[in-house]
A and B are shown apart, each in its own frame.
Chain A
């Protein structure tokens, strides 16, 4: 008789455990999936994490109810709170750290990109300036004529940059091609610039963009974004 009672008790407890586990799984998984579906996992993990914390609070409250001794309750609740607080701290700091690292990669990429842009834009403009002033006082060709000789068929809006590698998304576009003024604009497709709302020449928003303006007096550099 006693054995039957215990078997019944075990089955009941196992059923309760299974109900808790299934309910917890459904709550946590659905919270995770409902949260942001962007390329970043943090929104989903944070939402799922909050669901786990709420679930654990309910679980601890349920499993420590009477007749569990008061001392046991205090000890378990204290240990649980300490572990949860440290876990949340580790999680928050990890998010901050990895975002910082990803941002740093973006910054480094932007810095490298700006260097390449400046180099790639200044080279043809410096050659143009050099060829223009080599004509002496009586110049027959304008800045635009010299530039067109170097880049045959070039018109406003053309990208004169040749990609150097597979993922090279940079471009150098001729924005202005007047006889005494040439403007080149270089931009990146993915690398973010200083101002998130800046509208790039290619229609994207917030990406790195640099500009060089050539006149007979020399080059002027403008960092658009």
Chain B
């Protein structure tokens, strides 16, 4: 036996572990670079891998699923699968670090252990897998945190104008109802007596926290323009007929 293979650092078990770690790390990097979450087919069934087992991803998915249930008018239901996934995800953070930390301790204080252990021993394989999991997670979590912040920022930036636009549309809906009742009311009650020609926006409808509204008569219809207060150069236009129907929506600026 040469001098180099006598030292624990270059023992057969150690080299085997390095090779195993490299293979696992390369495999995981390949999976991670394929996109999150990755779906694979096992005997015809779809199985979600990678981040799908991280407990906070599972909990987040459940929260959004509850939001979607609310949205569609259904009672939110917690799935047993989601609960099981979250528990398994949490337990990965128990099993992985335990095998790694206790394994490292064993290796750091028992110098001859590398030489004595069988390379294909189950504890070696488990240690290799857990070390790969812990290392990949430790390397990936900063990236995931940064990416999460980017997504968070872009989502909020994109959603805010949409919400403002929806509120303006609702306020224009009230204007259309006001116009329709103006059309049917007689003059002595402040109406137009079956015409919109003298319609003017009431002060409480002409201004809100979202927008400033102006109106003009156009071919017996009312043309309403809302200019956003929150977003400069953003506006909405619509034409309202005598029955209160809204047509010809035009959106400008960030509302486009």
Interface residues of A (CB under 8 A from B): 3, 6, 9-10, 13-14, 16-17, 20-21, 24-25, 28-29, 32, 38-42, 44-45, 48-49, 51-52, 55-56, 59-60, 63-64, 67-69, 72, 76, 79, 83, 86-87, 89-91, 93-95, 97-109, 111-112, 114-115, 118-119, 122, 126, 129-130, 133, 167-169, 188-192, 216-219, 221
Contact = CB atoms under 8 A, between A and B. Distances in A.
A219 B191 CA distance: 12
Contacts of B93: 52, 56
Interface string B90-112: 11011101110111111011101
A28 B66 contact: no
B90 A218 contact: no
B181 A218 contact: yes
A101 B155 contact: yes
B174 A118 contact: yes
A3 to B, nearest CB: 7
A97 B60 contact: yes
Q: Sorted from nearest, which 7 A-B pairs have the closest CB atoms?
A: A102-B67, A24-B94, A167-B73, A98-B60, A63-B101, A105-B67, A41-B59
B20 interface: no
Contacts of B70: 102, 105-106, 109, 190-192
B173 A115 contact: yes
A29 B91 CA distance: 8
Contact of B185 (A59, A97, A129, A190): A129
A20 B99 CA distance: 9
A56 B138 CA distance: 14
Interface residues of B, number: 78
A112 B169 CA distance: 10
Contacts of A119: 173
B109 A68 contact: yes
A191 B76 CA distance: 12
A209 B195 CA distance: 32
B5 interface: no
B189 A94 contact: no
B66 A102 contact: yes
Contacts, number: 227
Given A29-B91, A49-B55, A16 B142 contact: no
Interface stretch (B23-31, B39-47, B81-89, B214-222): B81-89
B94 A28 contact: yes
Contact of A55 (B66, B86, B94): B94
13 contacts: A3-B116, A6-B110, A9-B110, A17-B98, A28-B94, A39-B77, A98-B59, A98-B60, A102-B66, A106-B70, A114-B170, A191-B73, A217-B185
B177 A190 contact: no
Given A45-B59, A90-B144, A94-B56, A21 B94 contact: yes
Contacts of B108: 68-69, 72
B71 interface: yes
A34 to B, nearest CB: 13
Interface string B107-121: 011101100110000
A94 B156 contact: no
Nearest to B188: A137
Contact of B99 (A10, A17, A98, A100): A17
Nearest to B180: A126
A126 B243 CA distance: 9
A104 B167 CA distance: 13
B223 to A, nearest CB: 20
A92 B174 CA distance: 40
Contacts of B138: 79, 83
B73 A169 contact: yes
B163 to A, nearest CB: 7
Contacts of A118: 170, 173-174, 177
A59 B152 contact: no
Contacts of A10: 113, 117, 123
A122 B77 CA distance: 35
A39 B65 CA distance: 10
Given A59-B97, A100-B156, A126-B244, A108 B102 contact: no
